[in-house]
Structure 1
Amino acid sequence: MSVVKVSYFSDVLCIWAYIAQARIDAIKDTFGEAVLLDQRFCSVFGNTLFKIPTTWRDKGEYAGFNAHLRSVAQQFPHVGLHPDIWLTTRPPTSTSAHLFMTAVRQWQHDRQREGRGEPASPIFDEVLWAFRCAFFRDCRDIARRDVQCELAEALGVDIAAIERRIHDGTAHARLASDYQEADKMRIEGSPSFVLNEGRQKLYGNVGFRIIEANIQELLRAPPGDQASWC
């Protein structure tokens, strides 16, 4: 069976990645094991204390950004958005959440390798979605370690194992690899789908039918000397 690898780069504080989760779910439901989805992180909100006041300086700063996000969310009724987003809660960075999630991903892979976890364990996806919902829907500061631990532990994550991977530096190294790979692939922002060994990139608010068409074309498996028509 042909398998298409899709690298998916996102920032946990990006509303478009929050909205795009429905498309991730649709990819899994439509293609199953025919698609290998590799979720990675890129840094868009690495320093929100600089990014938002600077980017939105002439548009109301945090209040303007809040109004923009509420306007966006109204177009996508499948997601909930707290009316006070970025007003009462302002995570200073997405990096701490990315680091925690990278440790969760390592823990999941180690358990699978040791035969103590399901081959297609959804725990990483579940925790990442819990983080996104906690911020966008519930207006919680997911940059805080105590919030991260609370959300992950409720889903069955071994917090001590996560802390070990953070303290010994392995989670930092893996996250650095994600960020470096995003730079190497010239990822423009979040979310970004990368297919066909980097030849095809779909960035931003891309509809599922476009993603589906690209995957279907790659599953057609053209000969090595024939370019994909995507």
Structure 2
Amino acid sequence: MKRLPIVYFSDVLCVWAFFAELRLAEVRRAFGEQVEFEYRFCPVFGDVPGKIDSVWRDRGGYDGFGDHVQHAAQAFPEVALHPNLWRNVRPASSASPHLFLKAVQLAETEGKCAEGTFECALVLMREAFFIRGFDIARREVQRGVGAEAGADGAHVLGYLEDGRAHAALSADYKHAETLGVKGSPTMILNEGRQKLFGNVGYRIIEANIQELLRDPNPDRASWC
């Protein structure tokens, strides 16, 4: 059975992408083998100090941004964010955890770890920051996440040392630019014809997927 491809761009430090994990889990539960996610990263938080200085300098800086994130979480009572996010826990860049995760993804693609290891590592990486309050830009935290997900540390390190993880991450960022991805999370369907960006409700995602599964012909316009 040919599965519906969904290209999913996100930044691991983006709180909306963290909340969106709930919707992705529901997509997996509802559609199962009918869909296939292709996970890619975009650099929304590539330069955290610069982002805070340019956007939040007059709005409370890191503390103001931390308040903003906690306020956003009020719409998701099933999720309890760590109180120290952006106050005391301030990852400098999402590029570091993205790089590690690309190494895990490559290891899985090449059969060096079990199927599903990357998805597990991605979820655990987000949880390590948003729930457990760890600085996921630090390599020791990343190694702990990888081990918890079942990734072989030696294989992951190999992809980091020889530059293949860097190449894969660079390709992700370039792909995001080419497709006009403006932020995190962004879901691309129907060969780029349908783009769902930001805090999109599950029913909207579901309707788009159902319509494409009903009529997968890319030359015919969807009713959604």
Structures share fold, TM-score greater than 0.5:
yes
What residue is the counterpart of 1:130 in the other structure? 124
1:1-230 aligned within 5 A: 1-111=1-111, 117=114, 121-221=115-215, 223=217, 225-230=219-224
- Alpha carbons of 1:221 and 1:162: their partners in 2 closer, same or farther (altered >3 Å)? same
SS of residue matched to 1:154: helix
- The Cα of 1:226 is off from its aligned counterpart by 2.4
Contiguous gaps of at least 5 residues in structure 1: none
- Alpha-carbon distance in 2 for matches of 1:174, 1:99: 8
- Alpha-carbon distance in 1 for matches of 2:42, 2:65: 21
* Stretches (4+) displaced over 4 A: 222-225
- Alpha carbons of 1:34 and 1:63: their partners in 2 closer, same or farther (altered >3 Å)? same
Q: TM-score, normalized by length of structure 1?
A: 0.94
Q: TM-score, normalized by length of structure 2?
A: 0.96
- The Cα of 1:225 is off from its aligned counterpart by 4.3
The letter for the 2-side match of 1:89 is V
- Alpha carbons of 1:215 and 1:172: their partners in 2 closer, same or farther (altered >3 Å)? same
The letter for the 2-side match of 1:74 is Q
The letter for the 2-side match of 1:195 is L
Q: Report if aligned partners of 2:190, 2:218 keep a CA contact under 8 Å in 1.
A: no
SS of residue matched to 1:59: coil
Percent identical among aligned pairs is: 48
RMSD over aligned CA atoms reads 1.4
Q: Residues 38-59 of structure 1, C-alpha deviation per residue, up to 9 Å, x if partnerless?
A: 1110000000011012211121
Q: Residues 46-87 of structure 1, C-alpha deviation per residue, up to 9 Å, x if partnerless?
A: 000110122111211111101111111111012221111111
- The Cα of 1:35 is off from its aligned counterpart by 0.5
- Alpha-carbon distance in 2 for matches of 1:226, 1:97: 39
The letter for the 1-side match of 2:59 is K
- The Cα of 1:224 is off from its aligned counterpart by 5.4
- Alpha-carbon distance in 2 for matches of 1:36, 1:222: 14
- The Cα of 1:3 is off from its aligned counterpart by 2.4
- Alpha carbons of 1:187 and 1:225: their partners in 2 closer, same or farther (altered >3 Å)? closer
The letter for the 2-side match of 1:129 is V
Q: Report if aligned partners of 1:222, 1:228 keep a CA contact under 8 Å in 2.
A: no
The letter for the 2-side match of 1:108 is E
- The Cα of 1:154 is off from its aligned counterpart by 2.5
Q: Report if aligned partners of 1:2, 1:219 keep a CA contact under 8 Å in 2.
A: no
Q: Report if aligned partners of 2:191, 2:218 keep a CA contact under 8 Å in 1.
A: no
- Alpha-carbon distance in 2 for matches of 1:221, 1:2: 13
- Alpha carbons of 1:53 and 1:2: their partners in 2 closer, same or farther (altered >3 Å)? same
The letter for the 2-side match of 1:186 is G
